[in-house]
């Protein structure tokens, strides 16, 4: 009997099986090795769903990108140090000797050690994402870690810069070292809330762009029903690392070396490589503190509107400041209050539709329907402050931030 033309079943399987193995290997390697859970396997085998129109988080702040970045921190940070070592190695033998006597090689070793310590924190943050009991469904859901929402691979490239920013936020928000920086910007806001005649009954407060969550947490400690909204998973994962009893149990349990990779403006190598313990207090999820991982511009409150919206270093991140102020206004109860403190550092590269001056922002606020307090304890004023500054560095970036309290005028 002659074989029928075309492939036999055995031949077809012989081709298909290696191809399937090749494809699965490709998909597995494409994901982080720590992510092989039933849901990631499901994603690998059945493919990712089509892009979700409900995912309001841009790819560069997304969970997959933040996770990839925390996972890749050690590799990327150490490759930066390697580049510095390579540069040093290009010196002549005589100059290398001078460098050695000055302690430069020791400084590079210290930087390497410091980055290893930072990587421990980063691994802890990334590890949270694979624990679905610790990572209950959010906007994108626990499975969202593994779905790519149709984003392009280049949008999801690890970003070591954003992780470093989050590490500095551990200091600003949650260490003793950051206390003075926090005091200058938190106290004017907390004073307004403390002095509100309704404070004893508890107020409903929204904190958009909440970063690592310290301000929202402080407000909830005053007894108010507080909602924090943050778009960037680089920030919220770091906050979750502190909220979770699995990753954080005690004060000063963790250490970061947030300045170790940058040798500029350094008074001494010791300062640059110093470790900073955190947290100064252990935050725990509470009934009156809610974290929403999503876009504030898409947020509408459950039930009643807010008594207060508090924006700290936030409004200038808007791509459309008019939409931001209109949305703040719409979220407030009649007579509700908006507290703002921050600079006007607009997103560069002409990405912001409008880049207004302070005068223009104040005028816009009135046009949107706010009355800004110009007298008494709530009077508009300038607050000199830093943002994730290194208090021991030779350079300071000082903001002349503006503080105001605005009331939603009658509609
Ligand atoms: C400059 S940071 C300030 C963070 C925090 N308020 C602080 O002072 O530490 C601005 C934050 O707003 C977040 N953000 C920007 N646009 C947002 C939006 N539409 N919804 C929620 N968060 C947003 C950013 O991800 C970033 O974490």
Measure the CA–CA gap between 346 and 337, rounded to whole angstroms.
24
What is the band of 287 on the pLDDT scale with cuts at 50, 70, 90? very high
Expressed in angstroms and rounded, the spacing between residue 129 Cα and the centre of ligand 1 is 21
- Whether 224 is covered by a domain: the verdict is yes
Q: What is the mean pLDDT of residues 22-42?
A: 37
Measure the CA–CA gap between 161 and 77, rounded to whole angstroms.
10
- Whether 156 is covered by a domain: the verdict is no
With b meaning 16 or more CB within 10 Å and e meaning fewer, what string describes 216-227?
bbbbbebebbbb
Best mutation site among 314, 345, 388 for ligand 1, i.e. most ligand atoms within 8 A of its Cβ?
Answer: 314
pLDDT for position 178: 98
pLDDT in tens, 83-112: 999 999 999 999 999 999 999 999 999 999
Q: Please tell me the residue having the least CA distance from ligand 1 atom 23.
A: 209
Best mutation site among 175, 209, 315 for ligand 1, i.e. most ligand atoms within 8 A of its Cβ?
Answer: 209
Return the ligand 1 atom nearest residue 318 CA.
Answer: 16
Residue 401 has pLDDT above 90, yes or no: yes
Pocket of ligand 1 (CB under 6 A): 61, 208-211, 229-232, 235, 295-297, 312-314, 317
pLDDT for position 31: 36
Q: What is the mean pLDDT of residues 121-150?
A: 61
Expressed in angstroms and rounded, the spacing between residue 48 Cα and the centre of ligand 1 is 29
> Domain limits at 238?
163-408
Residue 41 has pLDDT above 50, yes or no: no
pLDDT for position 20: 58
Return the ligand 1 atom nearest residue 312 CA.
Answer: 6
**Pairing relationship of beta strands 204-208 and 306-312 according to DSSP bridges:** parallel
CATH number for the domain spanning 237: value is 3.40.50.150
The mean pLDDT of the chain is 86
- Whether 91 is covered by a domain: the verdict is no
- Whether 147 is covered by a domain: the verdict is no
Enumerate residues 6+ apart whose C-beta is below 8 A from 286: 220
**Which residues face 372 on adjacent strands?**
406
- Whether 341 is covered by a domain: the verdict is yes
Enumerate residues 6+ apart whose C-beta is below 8 A from 9: none
Q: How many domains does the chain have?
A: 1
Measure the CA–CA gap between 286 and 245, rounded to whole angstroms.
13
Q: What is the mean pLDDT of residues 335-359?
A: 96
Phi, psi of 39 (to 5 degrees): -70, -35
What is the band of 63 on the pLDDT scale with cuts at 50, 70, 90? confident
Q: Please tell me the residue having the least CA distance from ligand 1 atom 25.
A: 232
Candidate from 142-151, 326-335, 341-350 with smallest mean pLDDT: 142-151
- Whether 149 is covered by a domain: the verdict is no
Measure the CA–CA gap between 33 and 10, rounded to whole angstroms.
33
Measure the CA–CA gap between 32 and 172, rounded to whole angstroms.
30
What is the band of 38 on the pLDDT scale with cuts at 50, 70, 90? very low
Q: What is the mean pLDDT of residues 8-26?
A: 57
Expressed in angstroms and rounded, the spacing between residue 60 Cα and the centre of ligand 1 is 14
pLDDT for position 137: 39
What is the band of 159 on the pLDDT scale with cuts at 50, 70, 90? very high
Shortest CA distance to 158 belongs to which of 235, 47, 74, 242?
A: 74
**Largest pairwise CA distance in the chain:** 102
Q: Please tell me the residue having the least CA distance from ligand 1 atom 9.
A: 211
- Whether 154 is covered by a domain: the verdict is no
Return the ligand 1 atom nearest residue 324 CA.
Answer: 19
Return the ligand 1 atom nearest residue 297 CA.
Answer: 19
Q: Please tell me the residue having the least CA distance from ligand 1 atom 5.
A: 211
Measure the CA–CA gap between 336 and 305, rounded to whole angstroms.
9
Classify residue 397 as exposed, middle or buried by CB count within 10 Å of its CB (0-12, 13-18, 19+): exposed
Measure the CA–CA gap between 205 and 228, rounded to whole angstroms.
9
Expressed in angstroms and rounded, the spacing between residue 19 Cα and the centre of ligand 1 is 45
Place of tokens 């509408």: 300
Return the ligand 1 atom nearest residue 311 CA.
Answer: 6
Percent of the chain predicted with pLDDT > 90: 73
- Whether 101 is covered by a domain: the verdict is no
pLDDT for position 377: 86
What is the band of 132 on the pLDDT scale with cuts at 50, 70, 90? low
């Amino acid at each position: 009997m002659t074989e029928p033309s075309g492939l036999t079943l055995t031949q077809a399987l012989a081709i298909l099986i290696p191809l399937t193995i090749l494809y699965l290997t490709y998909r597995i390697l494409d994901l982080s090795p720590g992510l092989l859970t039933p849901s990631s396997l499901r994603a690998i085998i059945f493919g990712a769903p089509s892009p979700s129109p409900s995912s309001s988080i841009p790819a560069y702040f997304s969970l997959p990108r933040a996770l990839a970045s925390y996972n890749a921190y050690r590799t990327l940070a150490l490759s930066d140090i390697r580049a510095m070592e390579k540069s040093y190695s290009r010196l002549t033998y005589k100059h290398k000797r001078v460098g050695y006597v000055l302690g430069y090689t020791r400084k590079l070793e210290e930087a390497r050690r410091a980055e290893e310590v930072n990587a421990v924190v980063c691994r802890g943050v990334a590890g949270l994402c694979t624990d679905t009991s610790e990572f209950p469904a959010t906007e994108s859901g626990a499975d969202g870690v593994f779905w790519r929402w149709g984003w392009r691979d280049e949008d999801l490239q690890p970003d070591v810069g954003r992780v470093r920013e989050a590490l500095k936020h551990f200091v600003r928000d949650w260490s003793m070292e950051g206390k003075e920086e926090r005091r200058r910007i938190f106290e004017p806001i907390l004073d307004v809330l403390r002095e509100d005649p309704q404070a004893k009954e508890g107020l409903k407060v929204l904190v958009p762009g909440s970063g690592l969550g310290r301000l929202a947490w402080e407000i909830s400690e005053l007894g108010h029903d507080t909602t924090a909204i943050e778009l960037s998973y680089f920030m919220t994962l770091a906050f979750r690392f502190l909220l979770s009893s699995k990753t954080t149990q005690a004060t000063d349990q963790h250490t970061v070396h947030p300045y170790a990779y940058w040798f500029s403006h350094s008074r001494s190598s010791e300062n640059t490589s110093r470790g900073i313990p955190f947290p100064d207090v252990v935050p725990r999820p509470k009934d009156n503190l809610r974290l929403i991982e999503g876009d504030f511009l898409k947020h509408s409150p459950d039930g009643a509107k807010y008594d207060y919206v508090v924006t700290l270093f936030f409004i200038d991140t808007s791509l459309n400041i008019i939409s931001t102020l209109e949305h703040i206004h719409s979220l407030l109860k009649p007579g509700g209050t908006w507290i703002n403190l921050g600079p006007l550092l607009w997103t560069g590269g002409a990405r912001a539709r409008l880049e207004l001056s302070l005068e223009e922002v104040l005028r816009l606020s009135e046009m949107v329907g706010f009355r800004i307090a110009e007298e008494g304890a709530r009077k508009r004023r300038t607050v000199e402050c830093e943002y994730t500054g290194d208090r021991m560095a030779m350079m300071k970036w000082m903001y002349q931030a503006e503080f105001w309290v605005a009331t939603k005028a009658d509609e």
